[in-house]
Amino acid sequence: MPTKRKSQPSKAKTSAECDSLAELKPMRTFTQASLALEALPNMEKQRPGQPVSEHLKLDRMRALMAELGNPQQGQTFIHIAGSKGKGSTVEMLAACLTGCGYGVGVYTSPHLVDVRERIRIAGVPISEDDFMEHFNSVIAAAGKIEAEFGSATYFEVMTAMAFVYFAAQAVDLSVIEVGLGGRLDATNIITPALTCITEIQLEHTHVLGSTLPEVAGEKAGIFKPDVPAITVPQDEEVIAALRARAEEVGAPLAVLGVDIEFNQRFEADGSNGPQMRVGLMTERGEYEHMVVPLPGEHQALNCGLALAALDRLKVLGFETPEVRVAEGLAGTLRMGRSEVIWQQPRIIVDGAHTKESIGALVRAIGAHTRYDSMVVVFGCSVDKDIDGLLEEISRGADKVIFTKAADNPRAADPEMLRRKYIELSGKMAQVEPSVKEAINTAARAVGKSDLICVTGSFYVAGEAKRLFVEKETASAAT
């Protein structure tokens, strides 16, 4: 924990002022709880080069849950890992299950505007009171095991809170997104009913490995004996790594489009505009001509994976009729995935932060959105494939404004990004010191038929969305 500081005797210490979590007094408000949470060790905001071993300890997470009475045991979970598309798959699957009438818990990361977004039921974030209550109970348990296992992290505390909350609310099932990797992720203490793996890419190579098979092996660490696993079509070496791990642990693995009949098509002339449609058929039933609710050809496989998971849940007695599934699918939350946050000027935010996801975003906007020119507000973390990101941005942007998120300690220097962009593309670009100033500059540069796209990281996308949420709130109050 951080070095102890003097505090006023009349005030409870924050986690930043305590030598131990055991010293921490119960929080009395959501604001206090969220600030105490922010003071915990947090790998999401860790600068490159810092050690990560202390963050990846399942023994601490298991001890924490045991201290809480193991509320995760007896719950029905679907566990989803992958490099690209896992968040989209979570949202589509949860929307379908909610549409079928089930109480569905969702645990995702990171968040855009409010930390409570990470823990939801039927799309509704955990309340501030419940957040505070469960934070206090988890921190109390963490304090009891700290001497033996070390300080619980931000992600471990949030994960424990989700499991406690879903148990308290007696949800029918929960969809859990892996935070980092899979094998050593804090979520990997559950025994799910089903596991899913989305597309695997090279990412977090300092932790997960420097080759695709190594990364795939870490992701496949969520496979459990006799628990069905489903994945999307992948590079041969990725599929081989996934199958090897599945055979090793005794998990039956099915590949969409290989072991499960699947089809997809793009419609450009439908009455509802450009869209992807997918279909899936098994011995248990079929889903035909389902409209993919998120834009982009890449979302078809994510949607197919969600449908395959629904089909598999039928074995457990879950009823997922096609009509109800289609209704639920249409209500999928965007949550920073080509999400329109303002209409005039038109502003889209997207948390894309890899070369592949930026490329998919550019293609999706081109296929699904009408505009004259596009101004991209861009900021990313310094440990990303910056050259790859900039190359993809240059394919779709008419103008780029580089900036950085205020709360991202790993943010790349915007001036460095501008110089690299000019070297790579030969195009000019601007720099603004903050997301707000970048958006204001972009707004002055666009007309009614133009588009502003804010992307590069969830930090930048989230800060942009938060600005407009605050703007709407202020307008409603006047």
pLDDT in tens, 42-74: 887 766 556 555 667 799 999 999 999 999 999
β partners of residue 377: 401, 454
How confident is the model over 384-400, as a mean pLDDT? 95
β-pair type (194-197, 119-121): unpaired
Q: Which residues pair with 197 in a beta bridge?
A: 81, 231
pLDDT in tens, 299-332: 999 999 999 999 999 999 999 999 999 999 999 9
Helices 236-249 and 212-219 sit at what angle, rounded to 10 degrees? 40
For the cut 60, the answer to whether the pLDDT of residue 6 exceeds it is no
What gap in Å lies between CA 307 and CA 290, rounded to an integer? 9
Looking at residue 45, its pLDDT comes to 74
pLDDT value of residue 277: 95
Query: Of all residues in the chain, what percent carry a pLDDT higher than 70?
Result: 93
Judging by beta carbons within 10 Å of its beta carbon (0-12, 13-18, 19+), is residue 350 exposed, middle or buried?
Answer: buried
Domains observed in the chain: 53-330 (3.40.1190.10), 339-477 (3.90.190.20)
State the pTM of this model.
0.92
Nearest in space to 332 (alpha carbons), one of 196, 169, 175, 155: 175
Name the token pair of 385: 């494939």
Residues 6 or more apart in contact with residue 58 via CB below 8 angstroms? 184, 186, 188, 189
Which residues fall within 8 angstroms of residue 415, CB to CB, at 6 or more apart? 402, 431
Q: Which two tokens stand for residue 197?
A: 């793996």
**Averaged pLDDT for residues 171-193:** 96
| Token couple for 136 | 């206090």
What is the bridge-based pairing of β-strands 275-282 and 261-267? antiparallel
Residue range 220-242, pLDDT digits in tens: 999 999 999 999 999 999 999 99
